[in-house]
Amino acid sequence: MADNSCLFSGNRQSPGGLSNESGLIGMCPPEFFKSDNEWVKYAKALNDTHNTMYWKWKAPDNESRNRQCECLKGIISSTVLVEDKKLTIAAWMLSEMLEKVPAPPEPKDGDEITK
């Protein structure tokens, strides 16, 4: 099992990314490098209009959930990592954030989580 203690410990950077993103890719479990992984598929389908209201969170408190969402947004908005590495880390984050893979959001042209 991978050490996930620093998965949500980075600080969001401007214009995008996390302060610890380069280290996360080296710690990522191998299953998240596979394009057929359900978490990877979900991460690829995420957009700025996804509805977290229906997510089944592992964290019981809103503060932890908000922190996790900020880190997820940071990775997705990275200006350093290539797309595949962003998806790999985002999928790992989602697997640690949520009880199960949600139904994919409806994709819309041009939608992304970048805010």
Three-state secondary-structure class, residue 43: helix
Domains contained in the chain, number: 1
In a domain, 75, yes or no: yes
Structural domain including 54 reads 50-115
pLDDT in tens, 85-111: 999 999 999 999 999 998 755 555 555
Residue 108 lies in a domain: yes
Q: What is the pTM of this model?
A: 0.84
Percent of the chain at pLDDT above 70?
83
CB atoms within 10 A of CB 82: 10
Cα–Cα distance measured from residue 65 to residue 15, given in angstroms and rounded to the nearest whole number: 22
Region of poorest pLDDT, from 6-20, 24-38, 49-63: 49-63
Structural domain includes residue 16: no
Instruction: Answer whether residue 98 is part of any domain.
Output: yes
41, part of any domain: no
